[in-house]
Structure 1
Amino acid sequence: MTKQSLAMAVSLALATLMGGCGGDDDATAPPAAAPTASTQLGVVEGSLSASGTMKQFLGIPYAAPPVGAFRWKAPQPPAAWTGTRAAKSFGPHCPQRDTSPMSAYGAAGGQEDCLYLNVFTPTSPGPHPVLVWIHGGAFQYGQGNGYLPARLAAQGVTVVTVNYRLGALGFLSHPALADEAGRAGNYGVMDQTQALRWVKANIAAFGGDPDQVTIAGQSAGAASVLTQLNTSHAAGLFHKAILQSGPVTDQPTGAAAQAGGAALAETAFACPNDANAAACLRALPLASIIDKQSAATFSATNAPNVDGEYLVRGNQAAVAEGRIAQVPVLIGNTTDEYTSLLAGEETAMNNVGVAPGSPASALRLPGSAGYINLLATDADLAARFTATFGAAGASVAALYPAAAYGGQRPLALSAAVTDSLFACGTRKAARQIAATGVPTYVYEFNDPDAPMALQAPVSFPFRSYHAAEIQYLFDLPSTARLNDAQKALAEDMVGYWSRFVKSRVGDPNAAGSSNWPRYDVTTEPVLQLRPAGSTVVNDFKAAHKCAVWTPGV
């Protein structure tokens, strides 16, 4: 899942500064010069943030436009330019479907020429440690634009946000698109690796330290971070990793991905798997690809695949075997990951026929006439447990009775899926990573009143939903809605994250902060991040019933 497309305007000029020499000699000082940086491909001119405390360089190309013959190929180096290139506005985001009015996670439209990144850096001299942020969105939605990191930059961190190819354009694996060795797909994660190469080669020009880079992401962004940990192509390009709410799963084999891609191409795009398939696919209008790559038809091919070269094993297997990059890791999840997905279902039930892009006033809201609650009866809940967990559905339902969740049936189901898909998988991965001797820090974000600005209200609370923590780290419109206790939590989180990034050994602690112990497999300390005061808990396994979901671990 991903965050909303943010409409935060970036001020491109400083306010006039008034200087006083006394009497009638007062005069207006000239505006500060726009910041510039010399990359290996040319000079870019950025701007200062509205507060004047952060330099920002927006819409910098890190790869050639993946269009025409470059559609469904590994990213190519970008072309150099002469003169000074303006870097004062975001580049186009990658093409995707519009998810509104159901949510604001997607950003409608986009262009294939979308491989741009943004650099936000302190105004103070560097070198500053670097955080590269990879957005989430199920590999189908999202953009690097809008994650404004003013508070992270204020802590002395240079932040880079990245666009990468999404959906079929980023991950379609098809025999006709295969290279000489028969490999296809993985274009979106190859883009991420290419962006890391750009950072390695150019970030010093912006005041960043190329020898102190942390990669971070949420949801599909966290899965992407794990993929970068897993591929040898990213070796040496980063030094620490942050994974927020990313399921630790294996990827399909290259053969399975290509079979799924061939089926999709024929059924959705009308391109049979024959000698003309590649030409047919590359001739498809962009709008046709985006319109027809629904989640249902694209589910078999919307993720990286084990192609034997970019990825030689799945992410889960790589973690279990200790074959990921041996760098410090900060990893965690939210307490109620799955509520937002169930809320999306309820909203869809109540807004059949509401066209994408319709105003919020067109939505049917809880309490209005005819509103339908998701899982309205005990029978509905029992059937859903069976549909989700198969033969184990009844026994799982017994472990998560609705009565334990205030009678809110969606919260009972959400707890079961959160534990099985997120919490216990995160715990298992943390144990496996820590067992190799890698410094590992584990958190759980638990604010049941986190502001929700991405989806319409439903009949049950979102609580600590998937993506809730991002507004505490980045400056989003909803960040302004945090109350005083939540602002204090946000300040703590920015401190922990920035100290992890700045420490060469990946230690998020500092004098005066609540101690966050390094994870070990005996005591299993997890820092629970809460507005009432963050505390270390040691009962994560029991609280999330991990003996059921990851037996023997």
Structure 2
Amino acid sequence: MRNVLVFAFFALFNGMFAQNSIRPTVDLGYVTYLGNRTYPNTVAYLGIPYAEPPVGHLRFRATVPLNTTRVGEEANLNGEGVVNATYYPDFCIQGTTGAGDAGGAGSEDCLTVNVYSPYGAQEGDNLPVLFYIHGGGYIYGNPRSWPFDSWINQSPNVVIVAVYYRLGSFGFLATPEFADTTHGDFNAGFKDQIQALKWVKSYIRKFGGDPTKVTINGQSAGGNSVELHMIANEDEQLFSAAIAQSVFRTPLPTPEQQQPLFQFYASYAGCRTGSVAEQMTCLRGASVSALARAQDAAAQKFCLPYPRQPFPQLTGGSSGSYNLFRPVMDGMLITGHPTSKFQRNEFAHVPLIIGATSNETLSSGTNISLTLQEFFPSLTNTDIREFLLLYPVDEFDSSSQQFQVATGEPEVICSCQAMGGPSSRHSNTWTYRYNTPNPTSGTDAVSHSADNWMMFDGTDTGFNGSMTFTSQTPAELAFASELIAYWLSFVRTGNPNTYKLEKSPVWEQYTELNPVRMVLMQDPQNLTTVSGSYMERQPVAEAARCAFVISKAQACEN
């Protein structure tokens, strides 16, 4: 009898081991990928190409759809059969943050996605999809800094896709001559995002996803990307809902305004002379290191260092942020400033969550006038004086708080009203104020990207695609779970309340007549069973200031 029991135990053990050691794969029809089972219920397929490598003659050009025949043939020629997708891919070439670091790390061959899915998910499951666009000012950022394994582990009923897209000069070089696409293409990095969404539409079913139920989500420059997707002339419907976190309200320049940056960049890279066609031939033949040094030199020439988060600012009011590589108003894909298009009802009517942190600002310093002029170069002296009248120092606790609010509202915070108000007339809309500091920041201020630390395993981005992760306390983990539950409930149903945690308060909808928002906050007593979040009404003074900011959309060019 004892031998029978021993045999039964080992048979059960071996069966469990075999089941747990099954290697998850996904067959896309043209190639099969091997994923990494990061939790018992979670698989990460990392570095899956969605487009042709933008190298050689494809450098500075619009995204080219993936040649699936080539991918399949290469897998067979290599004798792999199944392509390993269990490790993070090369990230896109980074620019300098302006904090004394050099950019240049990464690879041009970076147009890939990371796909996180429940273990065992298969075609026909029709799980809703979250498509995440990282921030970093369109200059830097590595999706490895924002992993989603724990999100799937918490809620194994969604599929999540994180996109790598071209950054800096590689993604956003612009000069008026690009109107002739034989020279180059405007907004290549943004077009990468569009092509990745098209790849999702074609293949996410294989991972168990539903291509008709895709929520786009991004923070900072990723939030600005969400805003641009909502107003861009995309040739097909690629998403059904949106989450915009801390939208980076950067000016959207014309190609003509970017021409001085193009000429400086080309000259520094050794491509000073000749026609634009000759300069582009030279730039396509230049080494990555030469181009990386050129884009860093542009930042050093035009930008001031900033301490930690997250964007360099520019000196010289006449130069301003036209000397940063950003999306441009190309007249074809992007035909107007986002804020103005929202006010004119020229945007995608989809359910929306939008919010910002309590103490947002993308600037440092003390001079409000100079900072606004640097961030929004087309503001006139009259515009600046009108801005200053809105922020008298006696209405704030300190001059530093005055500076933070006077710069943070037009740079980030007022996106909640600029986008949320028009959205609420057509679709269910929710807004929030994130109110828990990043504990590694050394300050009580709830600064830009504090929500990223909480939602992504204690992450802080570093230089050149690097990052650090800090372990989280039980109270922090509980708060992170609350945030993830709201987000993924919205992804699943278009409503953050349907699958919220039981302890979490009901998140009331935002309307222009009832401008309420959720204050997302860790429990002050660090209890894990109690929510610290609560509803509040947008302050009347903030609403009035943001109404003025919105009225200046043409001058601010955002």
TM range (shorter): 0.7 to 0.9
Q: 2:515 aligns with which of 514, 524, 543?
A: 524
Does the Cα contact within 8 Å between 2:244 and 2:354 map onto a contact in 1?
A: yes
The equivalences for 1:127-276 within 5 A come to 127-153=126-152, 154-155=154-155, 156-175=157-176, 177-180=178-181, 184-233=185-234, 235-248=236-249, 251-258=252-259, 260-262=261-263, 264-266=265-267, 269-272=270-273, 274=275, 275-276=277-278
CA separation of 1:43 and 1:444: change in aligned 2, threshold 3 A = same
Tell me the distance in 2 between the aligned counterparts of 1:383 and 1:301: 18
CA separation of 1:146 and 1:260: change in aligned 2, threshold 3 A = closer
SS of the residue 2:415 aligns to: helix
In the TM superposition, residue 111 of structure 1 has moved relative to its aligned partner by 0.8
Tell me the distance in 1 between the aligned counterparts of 2:235 and 2:23: 33
Deviates more, 1:194-203 or 1:317-326: 317-326
Q: 2:489 aligns with which of 462, 477, 499?
A: 499
Q: Which has the higher helix share?
A: 2
Tell me the distance in 2 between the aligned counterparts of 1:490 and 1:552: 36
In the TM superposition, residue 184 of structure 1 has moved relative to its aligned partner by 3.2
Does the Cα contact within 8 Å between 1:519 and 1:525 map onto a contact in 2?
A: yes
The equivalences for 1:78-89 within 5 A come to 78-79=66-67, 80-81=71-72, 82=76, 83-89=81-87
SS of the residue 1:276 aligns to: helix
Does the Cα contact within 8 Å between 2:357 and 2:451 map onto a contact in 1?
A: yes
In the TM superposition, residue 450 of structure 1 has moved relative to its aligned partner by 2.4
Q: 1:277 aligns with which of 261, 267, 279?
A: 279
In the TM superposition, residue 438 of structure 1 has moved relative to its aligned partner by 1.6
CA separation of 1:224 and 1:477: change in aligned 2, threshold 3 A = closer
SS of the residue 1:237 aligns to: coil
Does the Cα contact within 8 Å between 1:140 and 1:167 map onto a contact in 2?
A: yes
Deviations 1:205-250, CA, capped at 9 Å, x for gaps:
1111111111100111111111112223263111111100113455
CA separation of 1:195 and 1:397: change in aligned 2, threshold 3 A = same
Does the Cα contact within 8 Å between 1:400 and 1:413 map onto a contact in 2?
A: no
Q: Partner residue of 1:413?
A: 403
Tell me the distance in 1 between the aligned counterparts of 2:533 and 2:395: 27
The code of the aligned residue for 2:549 comes to T
Q: Partner residue of 2:388?
A: 396
The code of the aligned residue for 1:70 comes to L
Tell me the distance in 1 between the aligned counterparts of 2:550 and 2:196: 39
Q: 1:474 aligns with which of 446, 456, 468?
A: 456
The code of the aligned residue for 2:64 comes to Q
Does the Cα contact within 8 Å between 1:62 and 1:115 map onto a contact in 2?
A: yes
Tell me the distance in 2 between the aligned counterparts of 1:20 and 1:75: 60
Whether 2:110 is the aligned partner of 1:111: answer: no
Deviations 1:376-419, CA, capped at 9 Å, x for gaps:
xxxx78987898896656983894649944x5x54431222112
SS of the residue 1:192 aligns to: helix
SS of the residue 2:210 aligns to: strand
Tell me the distance in 2 between the aligned counterparts of 1:160 and 1:61: 12
Deviations 1:484-535, CA, capped at 9 Å, x for gaps:
44433322211110000000x4454447431111211101111111123211
Whether 2:370 is the aligned partner of 1:336: answer: no
Does the Cα contact within 8 Å between 1:419 and 1:545 map onto a contact in 2?
A: no
Deviations 1:348-373, CA, capped at 9 Å, x for gaps:
xxxxxxxxxxxxxxxxxxxxxxxxxx
Q: Partner residue of 1:96?
A: 94
Deviations 1:316-362, CA, capped at 9 Å, x for gaps:
22212111111111111111112x753xxxxxxxxxxxxxxxxxxxx
Does the Cα contact within 8 Å between 1:249 and 1:315 map onto a contact in 2?
A: no
Q: Partner residue of 1:61?
A: 49
The code of the aligned residue for 2:282 comes to C
The code of the aligned residue for 2:419 comes to A
Whether 2:326 is the aligned partner of 1:324: answer: no
CA separation of 1:495 and 1:24: change in aligned 2, threshold 3 A = closer
Does the Cα contact within 8 Å between 1:525 and 1:538 map onto a contact in 2?
A: yes
CA separation of 1:255 and 1:183: change in aligned 2, threshold 3 A = farther
Q: Partner residue of 1:310?
A: 333
Tell me the distance in 2 between the aligned counterparts of 1:72 and 1:309: 17
In the TM superposition, residue 427 of structure 1 has moved relative to its aligned partner by 1.4
In the TM superposition, residue 167 of structure 1 has moved relative to its aligned partner by 0.5
In the TM superposition, residue 168 of structure 1 has moved relative to its aligned partner by 0.6
Q: Partner residue of 1:360?
A: none
Q: 1:77 aligns with which of 60, 65, 74?
A: 65
Tell me the distance in 2 between the aligned counterparts of 1:163 and 1:442: 27
Q: Partner residue of 1:367?
A: none
In the TM superposition, residue 140 of structure 1 has moved relative to its aligned partner by 0.6
Tell me the distance in 2 between the aligned counterparts of 1:395 and 1:36: 56
CA separation of 1:433 and 1:182: change in aligned 2, threshold 3 A = farther
Does the Cα contact within 8 Å between 2:95 and 2:167 map onto a contact in 1?
A: no
Q: Which runs of 4+ in 1 moved over 6 A?
A: 23-26, 100-103, 380-389
In the TM superposition, residue 268 of structure 1 has moved relative to its aligned partner by 6.0
Q: Partner residue of 1:488?
A: 478
- TM-score normalised to the size of structure 1? 0.78
Whether 2:27 is the aligned partner of 1:43: answer: no
CA separation of 1:183 and 1:258: change in aligned 2, threshold 3 A = farther
Q: Partner residue of 1:361?
A: none
Tell me the distance in 2 between the aligned counterparts of 1:501 and 1:100: 35
For these two proteins, the number of residue pairs brought into alignment is 485
Where structure 1 has 5 or more consecutive residues not aligned to the other structure, the ranges are 1-18, 343-373
In the TM superposition, residue 255 of structure 1 has moved relative to its aligned partner by 3.8
The sequence identity of aligned pairs, in percent, is 27
Does the Cα contact within 8 Å between 2:230 and 2:348 map onto a contact in 1?
A: yes
- TM-score normalised to the size of structure 2? 0.78
SS of the residue 2:145 aligns to: coil
In the TM superposition, residue 424 of structure 1 has moved relative to its aligned partner by 2.2
SS of the residue 2:354 aligns to: strand
CA separation of 1:239 and 1:273: change in aligned 2, threshold 3 A = farther
Tell me the distance in 1 between the aligned counterparts of 2:534 and 2:109: 45
SS of the residue 1:325 aligns to: coil
Deviations 1:4-34, CA, capped at 9 Å, x for gaps:
xxxxxxxxxxxxxxx9756787855335221
The code of the aligned residue for 1:514 comes to P
The code of the aligned residue for 2:34 comes to E
In the TM superposition, residue 171 of structure 1 has moved relative to its aligned partner by 0.6
The code of the aligned residue for 1:44 comes to Y
CA separation of 1:234 and 1:506: change in aligned 2, threshold 3 A = farther
CA separation of 1:522 and 1:26: change in aligned 2, threshold 3 A = closer
Q: Partner residue of 1:355?
A: none
Deviations 1:162-204, CA, capped at 9 Å, x for gaps:
1100111101013555435987320000000000011111111
CA separation of 1:73 and 1:419: change in aligned 2, threshold 3 A = same
